[in-house]
């Protein structure tokens, strides 16, 4: 196992200071290792996740070579040549497990932002006290965007949040964590080969969730109550002015509709599975409140904006992969983790085999299936 940094590197180096998992402790598990502390319904800090992974690596004596960056992988006869910062390997099989979130996506509009406005991504952001003075424009309203918008607003700054397509969820539904429902109802176990539009499912934004001791919901209504200004999707930046879509109302109506459909499916499952007595009564949530007229432009020079945070998603880094297995959009061509080249495999990507694939609790089943294939191929 080759690791460029330390074990659990992304949790040590690439997360902001206040981040907690959005998955509850009882659901944070690795093969043979469950959370065994006093707060199963709580949410781990990044430091606690790093410790959890470290403990696992020690328990299974994972043969990790830390400080060993893979610089290139290329075909070499019936095997692969792997060049690292610390020597070369020849290997008949390679598992790409470098993570799904190595690079923060920044839209093309970023190049038109005036130089005086700082631009950050979630991989570089640490906390509101390290931002330059002034208001903050957060672009993207999925898990990362809503969490950062709330934290920065609470620090006393004006925050504008540009909202595109998003997944709205309550933190708790019928007295259970919403991820309890995802886990037990089977939604999270929907398989890659059962889903009609797999490409779309793989690009679905992360849900608007945050893990806090209060188990609070962090949807757009909660952000409005905090004083965050909601605007539509960022279309472009022209002459120093950020231009937003006028379609916020539609985007929010669609997110409300999808949330209600999912909650109705949970209700249906609870009835059919005899779980009614385990959970509270069905609940309804008010629709997202969108102002009658949202701002369509924000002058990045005149409106005292100090920083833009691009919370517009992440992607894996394959710049070191010299094997022709990427599609026209730079995505890995694979079937449930079996890559389109003999001996090459992948783990940890969104919807790799199931909806839960990119979460810590999703790795066990995926790894078993992928390694099963790999072992058979080697035999």
Least CB distance to ligand FAD at residue 133 (A): 26
Residue 224 near ligand FAD by CB under 6 A? no
CA dihedral sign, ordered 148, 150, 153, 159: positive
- Output 126 or 238, the one with its CB closest to ligand FAD: 126
Residues 149-166 as b or e (16 or more Cβ within 10 Å = b):
bbbbbeeebbbbbbbbeb
Least CB distance to ligand FAD at residue 98 (A): 3
Site size for ligand FAD, by CB under 6 A?
25
User: Could you tell me which stretch among 98-106, 150-158, 250-258, 303-311 binds ligand FAD (CB under 6 A)?
Assistant: 98-106
Least CB distance to ligand FAD at residue 306 (A): 23
User: Could you tell me which stretch among 248-256, 269-277, 323-331, 354-362 binds ligand FAD (CB under 6 A)?
Assistant: 354-362
What's the CA gap between 136 and 138, in Å, rounded? 6
Of positions 348, 351, 354, 370, contacts ligand FAD by CB under 6 A: 348
- Output 86 or 301, the one with its CB closest to ligand FAD: 86
- Output 5 or 240, the one with its CB closest to ligand FAD: 5
Judge contact between 181 and 273, C-beta under 8 A: no
Of positions 22, 109, 311, 344, contacts ligand FAD by CB under 6 A: 22
In the shown chain, the binding pattern of residues 125 to 154 toward ligand FAD, with x for contact by CB under 6 A and - for none, equals -------------------x----------
Of positions 30, 94, 97, 374, contacts ligand FAD by CB under 6 A: 97
Of positions 120, 360, 367, 374, contacts ligand FAD by CB under 6 A: 360
Residue 358 near ligand FAD by CB under 6 A? yes
């Amino acid at each position: 196992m080759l690791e460029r940094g330390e074990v659990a590197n992304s949790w040590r180096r690439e997360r902001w200071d206040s981040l907690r998992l959005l998955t509850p402790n009882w659901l944070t598990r690795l093969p043979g290792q469950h959370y065994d502390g006093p707060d199963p319904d709580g949410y781990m800090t990044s430091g606690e996740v790093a410790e959890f992974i470290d403990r696992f690596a020690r328990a299974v004596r994972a043969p990790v070579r830390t400080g060993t960056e893979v610089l290139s992988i290329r075909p070499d006869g019936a095997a692969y040549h792997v060049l690292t910062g610390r020597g070369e390997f020849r290997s008949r099989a390679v598992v790409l497990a470098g993570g799904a979130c190595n690079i923060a996506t920044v839209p093309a509009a970023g190049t038109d932002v005036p130089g005086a406005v700082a631009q950050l991504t979630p991989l570089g952001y640490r906390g509101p006290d390290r931002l330059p003075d002034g208001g903050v424009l957060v672009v993207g309203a999925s898990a990362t965007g809503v969490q950062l918008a709330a934290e920065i607003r609470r620090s006393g700054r004006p925050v504008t949040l540009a909202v595109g397509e998003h997944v709205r969820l309550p933190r708790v539904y019928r007295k259970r964590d919403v991820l309890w429902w995802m886990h037990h109802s089977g939604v999270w176990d929907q398989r890659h080969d059962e889903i009609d539009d797999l490409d779309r499912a793989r690009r679905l934004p992360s849900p608007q969730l945050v893990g806090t001791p209060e188990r609070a919901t962090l949807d757009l209504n909660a952000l409005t109550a905090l004083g965050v200004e909601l605007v539509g999707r960022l279309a472009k930046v022209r002459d120093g002015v950020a231009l937003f879509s006028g379609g916020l109302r539609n985007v929010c109506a669609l997110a409300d509709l999808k949330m209600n459909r999912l909650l109705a499916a949970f209700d249906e499952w609870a009835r059919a599975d005899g779980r009614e007595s385990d959970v509270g009564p069905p609940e309804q949530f008010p629709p997202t409140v969108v102002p009658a007229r949202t701002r369509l432009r924000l002058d990045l020079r005149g409106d005292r904006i100090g920083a833009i945070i691009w919370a517009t998603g992440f992607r894996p880094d394959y710049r070191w992969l010299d094997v022709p297995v990427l599609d026209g959009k730079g995505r890995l061509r694979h079937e449930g983790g079996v890559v389109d080249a003999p001996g090459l495999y992948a783990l940890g990507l969104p919807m790799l085999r199931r909806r839960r694939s990119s979460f810590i609790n999703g790795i066990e089943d995926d790894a078993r299936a992928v390694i099963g294939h790999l072992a058979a191929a080697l035999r």
